[in-house]
Structure 1
Amino acid sequence: MPKTLHLTLTHHWWEEIAAGRKTCEYRRFTEGWRKRLNRIQRGDVIVFHRGYTNRTLTRQIKGIRVIPGLDLPNEVYDFFGKPNEDKFFEIQFNKE
């Protein structure tokens, strides 16, 4: 039985996923996210919530990997406030 990961996104990022322009979601490499993502694997489901509304998108997870903070895409890097963290989780998912 696939597991489900629920993530709440701002309207901007939700629209980018809905349009098919974004196929990875990023989270800081913290203990909380390590615990939460440890149980998730390829083939599980990710449900994106558009803010705190009833609008959702469901995608299948392709993989989760750890990347250096400097490898974040520019727009994401700016969104995180030009972070100085060494690592981030990259959650890869299918377009639809």
Structure 2
Amino acid sequence: MPKTLHLTLTHHWWEEIAAGRKTSEYRRFTEGWRKRLNRIQVGDLAVFHRGYTDRIITRQIENIRIIVGLDLPNEVYDFFGKPNEDKFFEIQFNKE
């Protein structure tokens, strides 16, 4: 049985996923996220919550990898405050 990873997003990022323009979500490489993502595997589900509303999108996780800030897409890089060498989890998921 697949596990479920719940992720709360701002309206902007949720709309990008809904429109199919965003197929990866990023989280800082922290102890808390390491623990949460350690139990998640390829094929498990990511449930994206639009803020704290009841609107959700469910996608299947295709890959989880560690990247550095310089590898973040431009808009995400700016969102995180130009983190350069910081590490991040990249959670890749399918479009539908």
Tell me which interval the TM-score lies in, with the shorter structure as reference length: over 0.9
| Superposed CA offset, 1:33-52 (max 9, x none) | 00000000100000000000
Normalising by structure 2, what TM-score? 0.97
CA-based RMSD? 0.8
Normalising by structure 1, what TM-score? 0.97
How many residues align? The count is 96
* Residue 30 of structure 2 corresponds to residue 30 of structure 1: yes
* One-letter code aligned to 1:49: H
Could you list the structure 1 runs, at least 4 aligned residues long, displaced by more than 4 angstroms after superposition: none
Which 5+ residue runs of structure 2 have no aligned equivalent? none
3-state DSSP class of the match of 2:43? Answer: coil
3-state DSSP class of the match of 2:75? Answer: helix
* Residue 73 of structure 2 corresponds to residue 73 of structure 1: yes
1:11 is displaced (CA, Å) by 0.2
Q: Quote the sequence identity (%).
A: 89
Partner in structure 2 of residue 40 of structure 1: 40
Which 5+ residue runs of structure 1 have no aligned equivalent? none
Whole-angstrom CA distance in 2 between matches of 1:90 and 1:58: 17
